[in-house]
């Protein structure tokens, strides 16, 4: 099933407690997304039912987006507030399964071994993975004298496995006709902490390198080359401080640090990282199955060769009960998520995320509407 575009209508405000829980800076998972949707509808468009206080926990990649959604929700629905604890995706899934929070934020869908436990937590009903926040991963680099750089899945795989060691390597030069590349050592910078960004970057390399990446995926970096740095901010700082460095980091962190990032040739030519090019990739991605669980087929996203699509995009999910909440919780969770999917998209770009394309948003809202309380 094709994922089309996303876009517009939501509302919220951050309480002091939520602000304390959501102090962040750019996207990051420590994880973080066309024809972009904008989010015009006013507060009158919001359904403000249910309880006033909702709890969630998980991905640090989406925490800035969640803070924005919470602000808009409070603006649209006076008195509403989400308390979000950015402890990481794994912790978020565990706390949701334990019934300690109303929903989880996660850089990956529920794992196979978690599906049954999540259904038990939801009163015997399946939990759904709803992709709400997308953040492009930038290949930030520090190559003095090189203002424009093109790379692809093959060259990135070989750089991060230590097989391409110099910036003027013939494989890189072939992608950068007319650019004078220096005879400088390449220093790959990777996340030294467990990270959903690392997992998704390695999944991208698996899908896009034509078999060159042989190290597998996972939240720990497997490439064996380069230097590690803690968290997204650490990667950005390390690239900025190291001539010859390149690192994978959420776009918001690269923008904050003023670091350039490479274009990616997905097989149909070089693509610059913009909201439009990342949104085009989201639009062309596919869901893993039919129905209201919207787990993405990441191979279709990372391996795509659509012209003008920037494929290295991190999708983060809200994991919710399809059914099994009490009525007050069900209505409040739906209210928050619908505001986030609509009006909450308007200011995401400035924080380094990609607003949902319109058709994708419509598909997402259909799933949100289908969330219901226990019979």
Residues making up the annotated binding site for phosphate are 59-61, 89, 107, 195-197
Residue 264 tokens, joined:
């990616």
CA distance 13 to 83: 11
**Residue list for the binding site:** 59-61, 89, 107, 195-197
Q: What is the DSSP letter of 326?
A: -
Among left, alpha and beta (phi > 0; psi -120 to 50; other), residue 330 is alpha
Residue 152 tokens, joined:
């692809």
Q: Decide if 223 contacts 216 (C-beta within 8 A).
A: no
Residue 281 tokens, joined:
């990739």
The DSSP element (H or E) to which 74 belongs, if any, is helix 63-76
How many C-beta atoms surround the C-beta of residue 234 within 10 A? 19
Of 100, 106, 6, residue with least CA distance to 66:
106
Using a CB cutoff of 8 Å and minimum separation of 24, what contacts does 229-234 make? 229/189, 229/190, 229/191, 229/192, 230/191, 230/192, 230/193, 231/28, 231/30, 231/191, 231/193, 232/26, 232/27, 232/28, 232/29, 232/30, 232/191, 232/197, 233/25, 233/26, 233/28, 234/192
Cα–Cα distances in angstroms (integers) from residue 139 to residues 55, 89, 257, 314, in the given order: 34, 23, 13, 13
Residue whose token pair is 């969770």: 333
Q: Which backbone phi and psi does 262 adopt, to 5 degrees?
A: -75, 155
CA distance 153 to 246: 14
CA distance 178 to 171: 14
Q: Which backbone phi and psi does 84 adopt, to 5 degrees?
A: -115, 125
Beta strand 323-325 pairing with 372-373: parallel
Residue 218 tokens, joined:
């996972």
């Amino acid at each position: 099933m094709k994922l089309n575009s996303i876009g517009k209508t939501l509302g919220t405000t951050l309480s002091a407690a939520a602000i304390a829980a959501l102090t962040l800076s750019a996207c990051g998972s420590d994880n973080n997304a066309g024809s972009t949707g904008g989010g015009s509808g006013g507060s009158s468009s919001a359904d403000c039912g249910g309880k006033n206080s909702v709890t969630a926990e998980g991905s640090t990649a989406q925490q800035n987006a969640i803070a924005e959604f919470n602000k808009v929700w409070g603006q649209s629905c006076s008195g509403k507030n989400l308390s979000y604890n950015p402890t990481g995706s794994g912790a978020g899934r565990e706390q949701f399964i334990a019934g300690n929070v109303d929903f989880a934020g996660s850089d990956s869908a529920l794992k196979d071994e978690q599906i049954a436990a999540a259904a038990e937590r939801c009163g015997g009903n399946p939990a759904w993975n709803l992709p709400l926040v997308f953040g492009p991963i930038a290949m930030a680099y520090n190559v003095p004298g090189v203002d424009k750089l093109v790379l692809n899945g093959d060259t990135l795989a070989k750089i991060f496995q230590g097989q391409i060691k110099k910036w003027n390597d013939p494989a890189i030069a072939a992608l950068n006709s007319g650019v004078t590349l220096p005879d400088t050592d390449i220093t790959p910078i990777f996340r030294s902490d467990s990270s959903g960004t690392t997992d998704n970057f390695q999944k991208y390399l698996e899908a896009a390198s034509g078999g060159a990446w042989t190290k597998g995926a996972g939240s720990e970096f497997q490439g064996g080359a380069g230097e590690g740095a803690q968290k997204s901010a650490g990667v950005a700082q390390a690239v900025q401080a190291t001539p010859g460095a390149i690192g994978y980091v959420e776009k918001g962190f690269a923008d904050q640090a003023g670091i350039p990032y490479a274009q990616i040739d997905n097989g149909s030519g070089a693509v610059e990282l913009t909201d439009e090019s990342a949104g085009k990739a989201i639009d062309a991605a596919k869901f893993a199955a039919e129905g209201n669980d919207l787990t993405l087929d990441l191979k279709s996203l990372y391996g795509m060769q659509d012209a003008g699509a920037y494929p290295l995009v991190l999708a983060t999910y809200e994991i919710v009960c399809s059914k099994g909440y009490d009525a007050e919780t069900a209505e409040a969770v739906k209210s928050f998520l619908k505001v986030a999917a609509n009006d909450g998209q308007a200011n995401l770009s400035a924080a380094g995320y990609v607003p949902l394309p319109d058709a994708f948003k419509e598909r997402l809202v259909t799933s949100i509407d289908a969330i219901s309380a226990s019979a």
